[in-house]
Amino acid sequence: MTTLPERPRYLFIRILEACNAGCFMCDFAHSRDTYRFTNEDLSELVPKALEEGVRYLRFTGGEPLMHREILPMVRTAAEAGLQVSLITNGMLLPRMADALAEAGLSLVVVSIDGMDAKSHDLFRDARNCFDRAVEGLKLAKSLGIMCRVNSVVGPHNYREMPELQEFLADLGVDQWDLSALKLSQMPTYPDEDDVRRVGERIYAHERLRPMGKRWYGETAEEQHRYFAQGVTPRVSQDRCFAAEDVVYLDAKDGSAFVCACLPHRTDGGSNSARFRTGGVVDLGTPRLREMQQHFAAHGPASCTGCNAASARYSDVVAAGSDVPAWAY
Ligand SMILES: C[S@@+](CC[C@H](N)C(=O)[O-])C[C@H]1O[C@@H](n2cnc3c(N)ncnc32)[C@H](O)[C@@H]1O
């Protein structure tokens, strides 16, 4: 058996559900939920996360920039030595970029799904979302924060992606995560060959190649599974290294998952562990380790599809190559 080098782990925390956008595909659209994971909760969690080998942290939601304590939370994690990122729709980024940089944010991931304000704002049901996201990215870049754009792609917008790609490359975006839209109802494309043609162009781009596997699959088998069954490309090996390296916390109900896709599966709950029991936080519970081992070994066979970046992440680890910073 090959011994793999110890790798830094990634921790995702959904710190709230409330959101100021109404994305058509999202469970949290326009949510007014009042739950907040607090800076105090985070201060308790960070030492446990470090003990478990976590080096990268991502705040997600809901909309993390709506959280009143987001700045102290970035600072708490950064001061403890974690590389800190957050994923945002960017609406509040122009007014917060300065303070986020000062608090120690390393990477900002901004969600952009359309090539211009007209289409993006419609998908997100949020006025000025595109313009603010772009302004926020420019500011973040000028402040030395690494910038990634996350685009969710499907039949509704894949034809816009080449134009968006040029735009993002001109903007100087560092990474582009192009991931398939997931819905309980399978997305259908009127012309699969047209998707392949558009995809060829996107994945041959020299300045800003998407970070993961092709959203519609790399091999003929993957593409068939995607177009016929809606299963997005998954890891190519029979072992999922993302499951070993990632912990996703749904802070509101205290559950932990070994992959960011699992909470969204209909059987999600049965695939979770507790990370907070009776007020005590622990990321090294036997149940969580059991989940990690289970999904690392059996995930690839039962997986209903990865996001594109995590499928590639696991393949890079499996190949024994160096895993670049912020590969996930
Ligand atoms: C749930 S949002 C939370 C963070 C923030 N509000 C944002 O918009 O980036 C995180 C990411 O999930 C993506 N997302 C939401 N619903 C999705 C779906 N049905 N399929 C794939 N990605 C989805 C969003 O586009 C966004 O990039």
pLDDT digits (tens, 9 = 90+) for 122-131: 999 999 999 9
- In degrees and rounded to multiples of 5, residue 27 shows phi and psi of -70, -20
- Which of ligand 1's atoms lies nearest the C-alpha of 25? 19
Give the pLDDT mean for 55-73.
98
| Predicted confidence (pLDDT) per residue in 29-41, tens digit | 999 999 999 999 9
- Which of ligand 1's atoms lies nearest the C-alpha of 182? 20
- Probe residue for ligand 1, chosen from 23, 63, 108 as the CB with the greatest number of ligand atoms within 8 Å: 23
CATH number of 9-318: 3.20.20.70
Shortest CA distance to 41 belongs to which of 222, 283, 324, 237?
283
- Probe residue for ligand 1, chosen from 15, 20, 26, 226 as the CB with the greatest number of ligand atoms within 8 Å: 26
Query: Looking at 68-209, which runs of residues are DSSP E strands?
Result: 83-88, 107-111, 146-153, 175-180
| Predicted confidence (pLDDT) per residue in 218-229, tens digit | 999 999 999 999
**Residue nearest ligand 1's atom 15 by CA:** 26
pLDDT of residue 1: 46
CB 17 within 8 A of CB 3: no
Read off the tokens for 293: 């081992």
**Residue nearest ligand 1's atom 16 by CA:** 26
196 Cα: distance to centroid of ligand 1 (angstroms): 24
Ligand 1: lining residues by beta carbon, under 6 Å: 19, 23, 25-26, 28, 60-61, 63, 87-89, 111, 150, 152, 181-183
pLDDT of residue 268: 58
CA 7 to chain centre: 19
248 Cα: distance to centroid of ligand 1 (angstroms): 14
Confidence grade of residue 251 (pLDDT, cut at 50, 70, 90): very high
Q: How crowded is the C-beta side of 272, counted as CA atoms within 13 Å?
A: 22
